[in-house]
Amino acid sequence: MAGTMTVASKEMRDQFGSRRFLILFGLILVLGGLSAYQGVDFIRNNTGSSFVYIFSGARMSFSFIQIMVFFGPILGLALGFDAVNKERANGTLSIVLGQPIYRDSVINGKFLAGAAALTTLVFSTIAIMCGITIPMLGFAPTLEEALKIVALTLLTTVYLLIWLSLGILYSTVFKKTSTSILFSIATWMTFSIVIMILGVALSSALVPLPAGDFIGTPVTPDGQGGQGGQRFSVSPEYMETMQERQALQTAIQRLSPTQLYQETASAILGVGSFGFGRQEFARTTTLAEALANNWASITALSVIVVVAFAASYMMFLRTEIRPGE
């Protein structure tokens, strides 16, 4: 344990002092501030809105969830993609292992350092967002809303740990940092973009809409402006097909941790998720209801973290480290 903490403290100093982390931290703070400002504007214009809407922004607009959906993977992967192979390339890994430190202490310490950096980033960003919006709104969150904020913070941290674990895994498997960063980018694009598009394409191909069931019929002018409109009648078969298509699309997209995080975070905040960061405010639910309805997604996200880190752990213990690596 002492060896793990020694490695972790050294890695944390490197992480917090690295230009990469500071730039990403600053970017997230700026984007989080913009999201909070939009949320404040929405709350002011909609009486009775919840304080947690500072994290969901205005309807169909920029939000904290979107920031994490698209930039969260970059954060996690950036802190992990060269955790091991960079030391091998510099020839310092064999020197570290030559000290009275066990191998598992090295990989555990690197993971703990990355986890500490990401946890600090998430907690600080959310705390700053709350700190700047409370004076602007003139009221603080209720106990229920505060618990939702805590739940969102923990969920976001777990989500970022997934990408940190994958980054460390690639850093362990591949000797070159260029290869690990390419795999990291490919993984990010696959789970954040490709699967979302694939879900839409496959659901449309496998569940085609019945022809002639979405019918528009003209109506007479309503007297306001003197222009006619279009009234649409939808058959039950059409609605049933649309529901089947949406269910298939959601099932495919749930193969991505990005979709699982977005759905769960949206449920906690009380907004509906429609993929690609699109949101719409839904019925307000309690935190207990949100957690009960999304426990499977939360479990899946946690399992992914454990499996990804366990794979990198086993790979590192079995990897041959030669002198000079």
DSSP-assigned letter for residue 270: T
Spacing of C-alpha 153 from chain mean position: 11
- Among 22-36, 198-212, 306-320, which stretch is predicted with the lowest mean pLDDT? 198-212
Choose among 301, 254, 259, 300: nearest CA to 278.
Answer: 259
Spacing of C-alpha 211 from chain mean position: 38
What band does 233 get if pLDDT is binned at 50, 70 and 90? low
Say what the pLDDT of residue 219 is.
Answer: 47
Q: Do residues 192 and 70 make contact, with C-beta atoms less than 8 angstroms apart? A: yes
What digits encode the pLDDT tens for the residues 184-231? 999 999 998 999 999 999 988 888 877 655 554 444 455 444 444 555
Q: Do residues 277 and 63 make contact, with C-beta atoms less than 8 angstroms apart? A: yes
Say what the pLDDT of residue 167 is.
Answer: 94
Say what the pLDDT of residue 58 is.
Answer: 57
| pTM for this predicted structure | 0.86
Average pLDDT score over residue span 307-325: 83
* Measured distance CA(28)–CA(25) in Å, rounded: 5
Instruction: Report whether pLDDT(276) > 50.
Output: no
DSSP-assigned letter for residue 275: S
What digits encode the pLDDT tens for the residues 35-68? 888 888 888 887 777 889 888 765 545 789 989 9
Give the chain's mean pLDDT: 84
Amino acid at 85: N
- Residue 83 burial class via C-beta count within 10 angstroms: exposed 0-12, middle 13-18, buried 19 and up: buried
Helices 257-269/64-80 angle, 10° precision: 140
Average pLDDT score over residue span 139-149: 92
* Measured distance CA(81)–CA(86) in Å, rounded: 9
* Measured distance CA(62)–CA(52) in Å, rounded: 14
% of the chain at pLDDT higher than 90 = 46
- Among 60-69, 79-88, 121-130, which stretch is predicted with the lowest mean pLDDT? 60-69
